[in-house]
Structure formats: C-alpha cells, structure tokens
C-alpha cells in the first residue's frame, strides 16, 4: 500500500458566499476529505457557515492559513482574487482548488499555474458541469466518432440575474473582480464547447450591457471557428424574463444530432445517431434535474481531487485545462472590443 493510499486530506475554504455551500456539502459527503476552517471578509457570514460544523471561522485569509492545519485550500471568492489567493496557498505548500474562472487575465492564470508547479502542489479548477452524466455521454460519443464530421455546435445560456443580484455584492459585474456574463455565469459553457468539440481557431463576438447597471456585459454572442472546420455559436444573456430558461449544448454532425438542455445541461432533449447503440434509449431519458444552475457536480469534482491526491487518478480539470477556457473568453472580449476576428491561441 502506498503512503498516500487511503490518506485523508484537510480542506480550508476561503469565500463563504453563494457557491460555498456546494463545496461544504460535497466535502461532507466524501470519506477522506474534511473541512477544517472557513474564511470570509464578512466575519458574520463566515461564522454562520462554520458554527453548525464546529470549525473555526476567520476574517483574515493569512491568519487562517497560519493557524489551521490543512492540506488543501478551496477558493470561492470573487474571480479577480483567485490567482493571488491561490499563489499564497501554493507558496504555503497547500494544494489549490479554485472556482471558475481561475483568473481574469492570462498573466495571472500563468502566475498561478507556475506557483503551483514550483511548490510541487496540485492545482484544480472547478468545472463541475463536465461531470453531468449527459455531458459525459456526449463527450464519449464525440470521442468515439459517432457524429462523423461535426458541422455545428451551439451553447445557449438564457438565465436571469436581476439588478438586485449585482447590488448584493459590489464586486459583481466589475472588470477588476468579476467580468461579465461570459466570464462569470457562462464560463462553464465556454469550457464545455471547446472541451467537447475541440480547439478553437478563431472567434468573432459582440457584447452589450442592455439592462443592468454594471460595468460588464449582461448579453453577448460569439461565433467560433474550430480547427476541425466546424462552426459554433455561444449565446448568453442574464436578462431572461422572468427566470432561468435554458443552459444547453447542441451538436450537429454528419451522423448524429444531440441537444442537452434543461436549466444547466442536465437533460437529454435529443439523441439521434445513424448507428444505434444498446444504451441509446437509456441515454435519451437522462434528466438529473439539479436544484439550481450549479448542479450536482461538486461532489464528483471533489472525488476526483481526492483520487488525484492519493495518486489514483489524473485531474479532471487542472490549471492548464482551466486556462484554455479563460483564453477563449478573453478572445471573445477582444473581438467584441475590436470588432475583428481574433485568432487563437492569443499572443502572450
């Protein structure tokens, strides 16, 4: 038996806002992971999360890392803080789990990747929608060549974020700490389309701030040209009336057509291939129906984190994989700014 096999790992969480409960719940379900401390600049919010769990709460990130014996730091703070907090954790010898996006600039993303490399720690970027059962089946179908040549791919994010959502936290909708609908709410969908279909060669985009009083976009569209020759479209808005309508991905190919929809790519709406397979009928009935747009994927993601730390698996999404979707988002923003097609990869 290796030294790491069956080893348990202690996790400290920084950021006790909207997404933190998904991390807490996922960690609690996994033998081998233990939450040992939480931190938030809003100390009452940190205490509200910590007290029912009987663990310490901090308002200082530095103090938490100095006092709490942990192996892993989970980062669920505003996006613009992810890289600096991740670098700090890596230099303290901690493995890093960061919410999406891992950064809001490639320079900061690269600094985080290199800091984890230099410290010899693992970097995980949470992309939980990749673990949705229908998405896993779609990826397998693409990898097996069931579509033949892919012609067109589409991701649609029609969600609702009222002004009150942005007003709840001053960092939301800012360029410094958040980014807009593409960078924040739709980043999982930008990740999915390039992960499932393959590398993007170039992108053209338009964005707009139509209704919300924020710095960044509440609505946008992007046209993708994949290296394979396929075309793609990403359509995003936070202005759907009166509530979230759809988070979907559709692939159309020579020998297959698939749409996975629902509120957050959780329901198979179409699954048709020229060559049938025994479990196709079962796949057509898949509907995981999560309670919110975050889905159930955090538990699966943390199970992969544990397996990697025990030396039993490779990371589902490490820092370099997380960087790819960030690069595409930044290409979208560059195109929207210049009105020109932007080739990928971006120039450093």
- Above pLDDT 90, what percent of the chain? 94
Mean pLDDT of the chain: 95
The domain spans of the chain are: 9-128+298-316, 130-290+326-343
**Helix and strand totals (H; E) in the chain:** 11, 14
Residue 2 confidence (pLDDT): 53
Confidence band for 157, pLDDT divided at 50, 70 and 90: very high
Q: What is the largest CA-CA distance in the chain?
A: 59
Burial class of residue 144 in the structure, from the number of CB atoms within 10 Å of its CB (0-12 exposed, 13-18 middle, 19+ buried): exposed
> Predicted confidence band at 348 (pLDDT cuts at 50, 70, 90)?
low
Which CATH number does the domain 9-128+298-316 belong to among 3.40.50.720, 1.10.3720.10, 3.30.230.70, 1.10.730.10?
3.40.50.720
- Rounded to whole angstroms, the Cα distance separating 298 from 59 reads 25
Mean pLDDT in residue range 183-194: 97
What pLDDT, on the 0 to 100 scale, is given for residue 241? Answer: 98
Return the closest-CA partner of residue 223 out of 155, 157, 159, 158.
155
Phi, psi of 256 (to 5 degrees): -165, 150
pLDDT of res. 6: 81
Look at residue 287 in the predicted model and tell me its pLDDT. 86
Say which range, 4-18, 57-71, 97-111, 327-341, has the weakest mean pLDDT.
4-18
Please tell me what DSSP assigns to residue 285: T
Residue 306's pLDDT is: 98
- Work out the average pLDDT over 48-57: 98
pLDDT at 347: 82
pLDDT band at residue 1 using 50, 70 and 90 as cut-offs: very low
Instruction: Assign domain 130-290+326-343 to its CATH superfamily.
Output: Dihydrodipicolinate Reductase; domain 2 (3.30.360.10)
* pLDDT tens digits, 120-144: 999 999 998 999 999 999 999 999 9
Q: What is the pLDDT of residues 77-108, one digit of tens each?
A: 999 999 999 999 999 999 999 999 999 999 99
């Amino acid at each position: 038996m290796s030294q790491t096999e069956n080893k348990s790992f202690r996790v400290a969480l920084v950021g006790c806002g909207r997404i933190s409960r998904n991390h807490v719940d996922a960690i609690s379900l996994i033998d081998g992971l233990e939450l040992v401390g939480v931190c938030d600049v809003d100390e009452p919010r940190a205490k509200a999360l910590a007290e029912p769990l009987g663990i310490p709460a901090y308002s200082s990130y530095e103090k938490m890392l100095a006092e709490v014996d942990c192996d892993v730091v989970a980062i669920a703070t505003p996006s613009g803080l992810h890289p600096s907090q991740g670098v700090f954790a890596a230099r303290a010898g901690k493995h890093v789990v960061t919410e999406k996006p891992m950064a809001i600039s490639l320079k900061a993303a690269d600094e985080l990747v290199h800091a984890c490399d230099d410290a010899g720690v693992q970097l995980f970027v949470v992309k939980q929608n990749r673990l949705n059962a229908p998405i896993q089946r779609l990826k397998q179908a693409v990898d097996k060549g069931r579509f033949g040549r892919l012609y067109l791919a589409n991701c649609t994010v029609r969600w609702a974020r009222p002004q009150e959502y942005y007003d709840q936290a001053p960092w939301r909708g800012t360029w410094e700490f958040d980014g807009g609908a593409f960078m924040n709410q739709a980043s999982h969908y930008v990740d999915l389309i390039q992960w499932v279909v393959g590398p993007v060669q170039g992108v053209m985009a338009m964005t707009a701030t139509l209704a919300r009083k924020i710095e960044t976009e509440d609505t946008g569209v992007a046209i993708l040209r994949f290296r394979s020759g396929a075309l793609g479209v990403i359509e995003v808005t936070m202005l759907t009336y009166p509530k979230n309508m759809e988070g979907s991905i559709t692939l159309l190919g020579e020998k297959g057509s698939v749409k996975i929809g629902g509120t957050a790519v959780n329901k198979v709406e179409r699954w048709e291939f020229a060559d049938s397979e025994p479990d196709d009928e079962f796949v057509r009935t898949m509907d995981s129906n999560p309670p919110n747009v975050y889905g159930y994927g955090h538990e699966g993601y943390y199970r992969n984190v544990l397996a990697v730390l025990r030396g039993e698996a490779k990371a589902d999404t490490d820092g370099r994989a997380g960087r790819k979707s960030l690069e595409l988002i930044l290409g979208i923003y560059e195109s929207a700014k210049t009105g020109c097609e932007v080739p990928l990869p971006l120039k450093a």
